[in-house]
Structure 1
Amino acid sequence: MNWLADLVRGHRTRIGSRWRAPPAGRIAGIVLAMLRCDQRPGDLADGNGVHRTTVSRWVREVVALPAARAPRLDRALRKIARSGGGAVLLDGSLIRTCRRTGTGNRKNYSGKHTCHGLLVIALTDDNGRLVWVSAVRPGRTSEITACRHDNLTAHLRAAGLGTITDLGFVGLDDSGPDADPAVNTGYKAARNKPLTRGQKLSHKTLATVRAPVEHGFAHLKNWRALGKIRTDPTWATALVRALPVLTNREVAR
């Protein structure tokens, strides 16, 4: 909360805001209570003597501050490479949203999860620390399509890193048979055909490395604001990029 309050004070200085009723620390506490504990804006407004729309405006302003500090993909990968890391873990997750009427919301329906939501792709290190989160995309988008849209394999090769994924990303790496793969996935066994020893080892390795990814997503989903995320892609992207910054600080503390 103190770190977020410092960001609010610096933002006030930059925009030249001369006066606001509550101090920056109280604003940070109100915003974190709404994001972390899913408190209603009306209750927070009544308890602090402000209007409900003021609380909503504070949330939009404060969320943009840590979202602007979220690392870009190429910078995050270079940082891992400089620290001695050799691979990152890749996975996708669907953030559920409310079902709205109209044809414009049909693209948010995921046939895989049979619900409405927004898809995000995340990279974590081997300890489950969230490194990078992509922009949100409609729920009907496949994980491979989202990774190709972000040119993930090109960024991994440029940084000299590899990534380990599950079976959902088979076919993502389009390198030739003689090239060093940047994306390592498992094997799809043929029907009624047992797995070979190498395939069994691959599945065992994937089961071991998948635990840190789920650990990182568990920290991200502890923020209850994700459960009521709006379908506005601009707001959703700012929120999913701001929460890993706050999550990593919370885990480090």
Structure 2
Amino acid sequence: MENTRNSQAPDGSWGVHAENSTVAERPDPLAYQCRLPLSSTTLDMVANLVRSHLKKIGSRWRKLSPGRIALIVLAVLRHDQRLADMADAYQVSASTVRRWLLEVIHLLATRAERLDRALNKLARRGGAVVLIDGMLIPTRRRTGADNRPNYSGKRKMHGLHVLALTDEKGNLIWVSAARRGRTHDVTAARHDHITAHLRAAGLGAIADLGFLGLDDDPDNPVIITGYRAARGRRLSAAQKEANKLVARERAANEHAFGDLKNWRVLTKLRLGARHATALLRALLVLTRTEVSR
């Protein structure tokens, strides 16, 4: 029989502990432990979402309380824990843990702001520019017709392409839908009408050289990129200095991607591609709750 308990460490992180005392089946007692470096604010937010959802659908009984469900889901998202391990620790089935995971992911995803609302909110706070960049989320290699579209020739791996916008301090404000890994940054930005939304909100954007050619209005540019050297045409001293300034401002964007990748479920995505967009938006909500610069 297993005993499980939750504990909070002095640093504010939460732990999930499960100890198996059945010595007859296994020669040595096994202990499963994981430490969650998350605030109680995040845990309470997810637990309240689960509690409200159960009340809304009229569910009278669950195997575990909303707080335990929230703790299990956060452990899976933060540390990419195997569903079977979490199920064994709490004496439920792996399919139940998976159902809880997808349920919480979609509940969190509904709290993510749309692009136009996120930009207008930033403009009302006095923001002037946003930082934009793309990233590739590694996935398992697929066979058959689904193999080639998810392969990124730039990064030499299979994955899903995502765009992200941050403010000048590196706080995430929006993530795009997950697309095929071969998708180019400019193609994804045009599909989401990034430049039109920026002009409507009165904001500009700083981007890397991968977004050259995105802004096709030279009279009213909103996308700031560096300069690219060409064969037989070197960059001038002023252009090199401009590239350094752009790179310096874009450093905050890399910090935001680091915050997002701290959720180790993105190390290699194992969920179905149709759940990837909801997962990214759920992680956006969790990251904004945890990190504020």
Give me the TM-score of the superposition, normalised by structure 2.
0.83
Task: Choose which of 165, 168, 174 in structure 2 pairs with 1:132.
Answer: 174
**Secondary structure of the structure 2 residue equivalent to 1:98:** coil
Aligned counterparts, 1:123-202, within 5 A: 123-175=165-217, 177=218, 179-202=219-242
Work out the CA distance in 1 between the residues paired with 2:64 and 2:58.
16
Work out the CA distance in 2 between the residues paired with 1:205 and 1:66.
36
Aligned counterparts, 1:24-103, within 5 A: 24-103=66-145
Work out the CA distance in 1 between the residues paired with 2:268 and 2:67.
25
Contact 1:121 1:146 (8 Å CA) reproduced? yes
Q: Which has the larger radius of gyration?
A: 2
Alpha carbons of structure 1 residues 162 and 208: separation in structure 2 relative to 1, 3 Å: same
TM-superposed CA distance for 1:38, in Å, is 1.4
More contact order relative to length (CA 8 Å, sep ≥ 6) = 1
Aligned residues, how many? 251
Contact 2:137 2:267 (8 Å CA) reproduced? yes
**Secondary structure of the structure 1 residue equivalent to 2:161:** strand
Q: Residue type matched to 1:216 in 2?
A: A
Aligned to 2:149: 107
Contact 1:94 1:117 (8 Å CA) reproduced? yes
**Greater fraction strand:** 2
Task: Choose which of 274, 280, 285 in structure 2 pairs with 1:240.
Answer: 280
Contact 2:69 2:100 (8 Å CA) reproduced? yes
Q: Deviations over 1:189-231 (max 9, x none)?
A: 2324332243123201111012101000000001111123147
Contact 1:230 1:236 (8 Å CA) reproduced? no
**Identity in percent:** 59
Contact 1:119 1:141 (8 Å CA) reproduced? yes
Work out the CA distance in 1 between the residues paired with 2:155 and 2:170.
24
Alpha carbons of structure 1 residues 225 and 39: separation in structure 2 relative to 1, 3 Å: same
Q: Deviations over 1:221-251 (max 9, x none)?
A: 0111112314733200000111011011112
Give me the TM-score of the superposition, normalised by structure 1.
0.96
Q: Deviations over 1:100-147 (max 9, x none)?
A: 111122100011111100000000011111110000000011110000
Q: Is there any run of 5+ residues in structure 2 with no aligned partner, and where?
A: 1-42
**Greater fraction helix:** 1
Matched, 1:228 2:268: yes
Work out the CA distance in 1 between the residues paired with 2:84 and 2:273.
24
Q: Choose 225-234 or 44-53, whichever is displaced more.
A: 225-234
What CA RMSD, in Å, does the superposition of the two structures yield over aligned residues? 1.3
Q: Residue type matched to 1:86 in 2?
A: A
Alpha carbons of structure 1 residues 92 and 35: separation in structure 2 relative to 1, 3 Å: same
Work out the CA distance in 2 between the residues paired with 1:96 and 1:104.
15
Q: Is there any run of 5+ residues in structure 1 with no aligned partner, and where?
A: none
Q: Residue type matched to 2:142 in 1?
A: R
Q: Choose 104-113 or 84-93, whichever is displaced more.
A: 104-113
